[in-house]
Amino acid sequence: MMKTEVVLPPLGMGMQEGMVVRWLKEEGAHVEAGEAVVEIEADKVTEVVVAPVSGVLAGILVAEGETVSVRQALAVISGHTEPAGEATP
């Protein structure tokens, strides 16, 4: 079973960190690639971070109200399959 981290991307020029405002999905919930999973506030603007893959939100690593750095892991998604063409024999 593969695991993929949901990381905080740079949401604006010069952005160094953001605060987790609200989780939109609970731990254990199924998420689809591209689906919003968490709201982040950065530079007084609220943005969403989306799931990079489909699977189960296996672990939330950062609580609401905590500040995180760009590219820091926010959560882990597991149970997804490898993209077509990359499967191991």
Domain count, the chain: 1
Q: Would you say 40 and 48 are in contact if contact means Cβ atoms under 8 Å apart?
A: yes
Range of the domain at 43: 2-80
The model's confidence at residue 5, banded by pLDDT at 50, 70 and 90, is very high
pLDDT in tens, 11-41: 888 889 999 999 999 999 999 999 999 999 9
Does any domain span residue 73? yes
User: What is the tens place of the pLDDT at every residue in 29-77?
Assistant: 999 999 999 999 998 899 999 999 999 999 999 999 999 999 999 999 9
Could you give the count of Cα atoms lying within 13 Å of 26 in the half-sphere of its Cβ? Answer: 1
Q: Which residues contact 46 (CB under 8 A, 6 or more apart)?
A: 21, 39, 40
**CATH code, domain with 53:** 2.40.50.100
**Separation between Cα atoms, residue 75 and residue 37, nearest integer Å:** 9
Asked if residue 89 belongs to a domain, the reply is: no
Q: Token pair for residue 8?
A: 């905080």
Q: What is the pTM of this model?
A: 0.84
